[in-house]
Amino acid sequence: MRYRRSQLHFILLLLAYYCPTHIAANGNGTTVQCLPGQASSLLQLKHSFHNPNLSSWQHGTDCCHWEGVGCDMASSQVITLDLSYRDLQSTRGLSPALFNLTSLRNLSLASQLSLLSQNSISGEVPEFLAAFSSLSTLDLSDNEFEGQFPTKIFHLKKLRSIDLSLNTRLFGHLPNFPVQNSLELLDLTDTNFTASIPDSFVNLKFLRSLALSMRELADGTIPLTFKLPSLQFLSLHGSGSEKPNFSWIGNLERLRYLDLEHYNLSSPITSWVGNLTSLTSLLLRDCSLYGRIPIWIGNLTNLSRLYLTSNNLQGEILNSWNISVNYYPLSLTGFISICAGDIPKCLFNHPKLGELNLGSNQLSGHLVDVSAPRSSPLYYIVLSYNQLSGHIPKSFFQLTKLEDILLESNKLEGAVELSLLSGLKYLELLSLSDNMLSVTDGEYPFPSLPNMQNLYLVSCNLAKIPSMLRHQYEMDDVDLSNNNIDGVIPCWLWENGENSIRFNLSHNMFTSLEKCTLLNPTMRSLGFLDLSSNRLEGNLPIPLISSTFGGVLLDYSNNSFSSITPAVDMHINNSIKLDLSKNKLNGDIPTSICGGNYEILDLSYNNLTGPIPACLIQHGNMKVLKMRKNQLHGILPENIGEGCMLQTIDLNSNLIEGKIPRSLSNCRSLEVFDIGNNHIVDSFPTWLGSISNLRVLILRSNQFYGSIGSLTKGVAARKIFSGMQIVDLDSNNFSGSLSSKWFDMLQTMMANSSGEGNALAFDSSFLGDQYYQEILTFKGIELTFTKILTTFKMIDFSNNAFDGPIPASVGKLIVLHGLNMSHNAFTGRIPSKLGDLAQLESLDLSQNKLSGVIPRDLTSLTYLAVLNLSYNSLTGMIPEGQQFSSFTNSSFQGNEGLCGRPLSKQCNSSVTGTLNSSVSSQDSVGTIVLFVFVGSGFGVGFAAAVVLSVVWQAKRWNCNCFPVPPVTMI
């Protein structure tokens, strides 16, 4: 993250231009009285958020003194509104009340500088912002804004900075920038803007910082003579498939920071880079570069940071160019072959090298002693994720300027005494995880390390908690997981500290928690506590006070806790992720659990009974509710409010009755709804299709009834269920025929996407993405999906009473991976259009009333691993070729009219060359005969055509199901 901090530092320096105006407006002691109309508008804005964390915004007080608000000294107009990093949430975008603040100069709702207090504001960016003629800075970064961005905002003449980054559903295009503009910063990273550079970009004479995700940049898009005279910071991120021509960058004479990522340049490092003599940072990550590192890179004498990660460059470390003394730090992270072999000793003895990052390479051999360690400038060593072996030299721990040591994931061995760290007074981070080391305390007493913040000793054969932690008051993150520590978890771990701390003690052998005074004022607050996979039992306590920053994560899963203590009823103001799954909790869910401000709550795989407390589903801030595999009963809570933030509801395998509450449609962010394996009696919830984010719908093993095909007309009907990727209706009482229009709605299953896709996840404001897990019947067996890719698509309509034909429109779902329509009453032929499902891996149409031949088109399904067409009324010869040769008898049994491999009933060898012609070919024979005999009269000609068609078909299949009479011409 150091490079990111450097990037942000550059941006903050740029934005420092804006600070004096704000200070002048409020910093000279003159009383500024807020205008009543503007105070009223701000209060309306506050109440538009679901959880307004704005305590100073109170009616009857001066809004110019409210947090995040700045007023102009002369006019008393609100000119600054900074609501960054306040954990604000809204699903309706920005309130129209903001329109009344027409004098705004600075508006910020950013989240990206904070991991714990992110905003989450969705909806469209309001077009009325284009009317704020004085607007100078606009920062909406790291939210969930969506839709078309109003282009007119770019035309504001006083606009100097606009940051829309990390709004992945926001789209638009770069406008024609006016000649008179003041834009200095533009950041559209991780948006869906069309990234073609317009000719009007030459008007951005003051632009200093530009960051784009250039997904559509192609050769020739930018003129080779293109110049931005003031540009100093340039970050362009691709998606891995683009092959742009970047030679125009060589014209940017003042460029100091260049970051290119994820492009398929498929070339050596080109010479235009050598023209950028002002560069201090060069980052060419994952650009498919190959060949040797060119010698001329040494001409970039101002370079202080070089990242060439994840390429195919070759050569010896530091020998392919004459390294300048200004290379400080040096990072060669991620080379595939450049860093294979031993580490040259000269690296550690370089007189000017402060940062050495050779992680994620193929380094082998032993670490060597460092000569003159006390005079070495090295402060940052990363050798993680290599093949290094042997012992860690003691001289490493004598590099007195060290701040970070990362040696995890190697093959290092031997004993390491933590007392060796006693001389590293600047040390902030130590990671020795995942080696073959045995870490012990060493000598006593152990002195405090004043700057120590992060300690990672995963899989280090620890037998007890290191005593050094008793003396550390600034710790942020401690990971002691996967060790052999047993006994009681002591209170002193989270006492006597100031910072919010993260502890991972999972996968040990702890048996109990020491009872602590929960509201002890000396106790540090916890942001993360993972006690999962231990041997803890009895009552379930929560030994912490509220986090002072943002979220609190408590993971008590995979233990033997039997009950929840009243400690759960603590007043915690921050968002909580509480995982109590896979314990032995029993009885009703206590109402005290409603006292927490839960964002994620997982009570799955316990023995809980009773109804679901209404507060859990009606909770305004809840994003994920998982109660799978309990014995909960009763009906689902009604009266779900419009502020519902739920993204995932998993209530699978309980005893829930009644209907799905219609108010669930207020959960506009819902992506996953799993009510499978319950006792729900209801009709198909077509109304859920209006939730545009819904991707997974699992209703299996309930008592749903009726048709699923009744839809209203119009645009709304065409868009419902458009985002679905998994639909599971297995084992219900659905009936009737399937409308072809039903499958026409599943637009996501029709879109062919490239790449492997991301894992389907729910976003947590303080944990990042949390992966959704599900048990699905796929390829004929129950499989547990610990991650479901967004590219995975499946439909299961099995074990119902559907009848009529299978709609040919199913063939439009070209990215479908699994289709199960077994155990129904479908009739007619298998649609040949199923052969268009090129990615299909599992097809089950067994136990129906299907007839006719097996379409030869199915042999083109090269990914098909499971096929079950058994127990229908299919006839004719089984197609041969491709995947069909791998299927066994069980795929086709129960169809008396079928013949050919793999069945024992063979077809006549004389017709194997013409097997499985299409139905249309059969019909054409009768049609030709019909026209030949039309001169003999319609009745005679028609009868002859029918008879000959039957004879031809019987010979073709070699079926002896009925005698073939001789044809007598009259």
The residue among 115, 134, 153 that closes a domain is 134
- CATH code of residue 766: 3.80.10.10
Per-residue model confidence (pLDDT) at position 525: 67
pLDDT at 909: 58
Q: Tell me the β-bridge partners of 495.
A: 523
- Residue 182 CA to residue 838 CA, distance in Å, equals 52
Q: Any idea which of 578-582, 588-592, 859-863 has the lowest mean pLDDT?
A: 588-592
Instruction: Give the pLDDT of residue 934.
Output: 36
773 — pLDDT class (breaks 50, 70, 90)? low
Q: Report the distance separating Cα 59 and Cα 438, nearest Å.
A: 61
Q: Are 551 and 526 in contact (CB under 8 A)?
A: no
Q: How many CB atoms lie within 10 A of CB 322?
A: 10
On whether the CB atoms of residues 613 and 632 are closer than 8 A, the answer is: no
Q: What local confidence, expressed as pLDDT, does residue 112 receive?
A: 55
**What does the chain come to in residues?**
970
Of 157-161, 527-531, 574-578, 938-942, the range with the lowest mean pLDDT is: 938-942
Task: Note the maximum CA span of the chain.
Answer: 117
Tell me the three state secondary structure of residue 163.
Answer: strand
In 418-464, the DSSP E strands lie at 429-431, 436-440, 454-456
Spatial contact of 725 and 756, defined as CB atoms under 8 Å apart: no
Please check whether residue 815 lies inside any domain of the structure. yes
Separation CA 823–CA 91 (nearest Å)? 42
Which of 899, 920, 944 finishes a domain? 899
Strand partners, 768: 764
Contacts of 568 (CB under 8 A, 6+ apart): 540, 542, 590, 592, 593, 595, 596
Q: Which of 134, 159, 175 is the last residue of a domain?
A: 134
Q: Who has greater pLDDT, 720 or 298?
A: 720
Collapse the DSSP code of 2 into the 3-class scheme (helix H, G, I; strand E, B; otherwise coil) and give the result: helix
Percent of the chain with pLDDT over 70: 74
Query: What are the start-end ranges of the H helices in 444-487?
Result: none
> Confidence class of residue 194 from pLDDT cuts 50, 70 and 90?
confident
CB 689 within 8 A of CB 709: no
Average pLDDT score, the chain: 79
Pair 366, 392: CB distance under 8 Å: no
Closest-CA residue to 494 (of 472, 466, 464) = 472
Q: Comparing 790 with 961, which gets the higher pLDDT? A: 790
**pLDDT of amino acid 938:** 36
Q: Is the dihedral of CA 862, 865, 869, 874 positive or negative?
A: positive
Q: What is the pLDDT of residue 590?
A: 82
Q: Is the preceding peptide bond at 329 cis, omega within 30 degrees of 0?
A: yes
908, burial (CB in 10 Å: exposed 0-12, middle 13-18, buried 19+): middle
Task: Kindly report which listed range (82-86, 551-555, 558-562, 747-751) carries the lowest average pLDDT score.
Answer: 551-555
Distances (CA, A) of 332 to 519, 546, 811: 48, 41, 49
Q: Who contacts 240 (Cβ-Cβ below 8 Å, separation ≥6)?
A: 262, 263, 264, 286, 755
Cα separation of 953 and 575, whole Å?
A: 70
Domain assignment present for 374: no
As a whole number of angstroms, the distance between CA 437 and CA 408 comes to 10
Residue 388 placed within a domain: no
Task: Evaluate whether 150 touches 171 at the Cβ level (below 8 Å).
Answer: no
CB distance 505 to 534 below 8 Å: yes
pLDDT of 713 higher than 60:
no
Beta bridge partners of 775: 784
State how far the Cα of 926 lies from the Cα of 945, in Å rounded to an integer. 5
Tokens of 476: 């942020």
pLDDT of residue 929: 36
The single-letter DSSP state of residue 125 is: P
pLDDT band at 619, cuts 50/70/90?
Answer: low
The residue with tokens 């599992």 is: 842
697 within a domain of the structure (yes/no):
yes
> Does 852 fall in a domain?
yes
Query: Which residue has better confidence, 375 or 662?
Result: 662
pLDDT score, position 14: 44
Q: Which two tokens stand for residue 815?
A: 């990215």
Report the C-alpha gap between 275 and 727 in whole angstroms: 56
Question: How far lies 445's CA from each of 467, 478, 627, in Å?
Answer: 9, 21, 48
State the residue for tokens 């991707």: 695
Distance from C-alpha of 411 to C-alpha of 93, rounded to nearest angstrom: 51
Residue 402 has pLDDT above 70, yes or no: yes
Pairwise pLDDT comparison (460 vs 277), residue with the higher score: 460
Domain assignment present for 731: yes
Question: Three-state DSSP class for 742?
Answer: helix
pLDDT greater than 70 at residue 620? no
Statement: residue 810 has pLDDT above 60: yes
Helix (H, G, I), strand (E, B) or coil at 311: coil
> Residue type at 111?
S
Question: For residue 213, what are the β-bridge partners?
Answer: 237
Tell me the pairing of strands 192-194 and 78-82: unpaired
Higher pLDDT, 598 or 2: 598
With 0-12 / 13-18 / 19 or more C-beta atoms within 10 angstroms meaning exposed / middle / buried, residue 935 is exposed
Q: Which helix (H) or strand (E) holds 614?
A: helix 614-618
Is pLDDT above 80 for 695? yes
Task: List the domain range (segments joined by +) for residue 856.
Answer: 680-899
Please, which residues bridge with residue 538 across strands?
A: 561
Q: How many domains does the chain have?
A: 2
DSSP 892-959: TTT-TEEESTTSSSPPPGGGGGGTT--HHHHHHHHHHHHHHGGGG-HHHHHHHHHHHHHHHHHHHHT-
Q: Is residue 620 part of a domain?
A: no
- The three-state (H, E, C) secondary structure of 780-838, written as one string: CEEEEECCCECCCCEEECCCCEEEECCCHHHHHCCCCCEEECCCCEEEECCCHHHHHCC
Q: Report whether pLDDT(66) > 50.
A: yes
**Predicted pLDDT of residue 675:** 96
pTM of the shown model:
0.71
User: How far apart are the C-alpha atoms of 343 and 316, rounded to whole Å?
Assistant: 10
| Closest by CA position to 877, among listed 962, 953, 946 | 953
Report the sign of the C-alpha dihedral through residues 878, 882, 888, 894, in that order: negative
HSE-CB for 462 with a 13 A CA cutoff: 28
What residue has token string 């072999």? Answer: 341
Taking each helix axis as running N to C, give the angle between helix 919-932 and helix 938-957, from 0 to 180 degrees, rounded to the nearest 10: 150
Confidence of residue 949 (pLDDT cuts 50, 70, 90): very low
Cβ(394)–Cβ(370) below 8 Å: no
Other beta carbons less than 10 A from residue 965's beta carbon: 9
- CA 525 – CA 547 distance, rounded (Å): 5
Q: In sequence order, what are the residues at sequence separation of 6 or more whose Cβ sits closer than 8 angstroms to the Cβ of residue 917?
A: 856, 956
Nearest CA to 830 out of 770, 768, 879, 883 is that of 879
CA angle 200, 136, 549 (to 5 degrees): 120
798: which 2 tokens?
């099995």
Residue 569 has pLDDT above 50, yes or no: no
pLDDT digits (tens, 9 = 90+) for 316-346: 554 444 444 444 455 554 443 344 556 767 6
Residue with tokens 């037998």: 463
pLDDT for 448 beyond 90: no
Listed in sequence order, the residues at least 6 apart from 482 whose beta carbon sits closer than 8 Å to its beta carbon are 458, 459, 506, 507, 508
The CA distance from 341 to 365, in Å, is 7
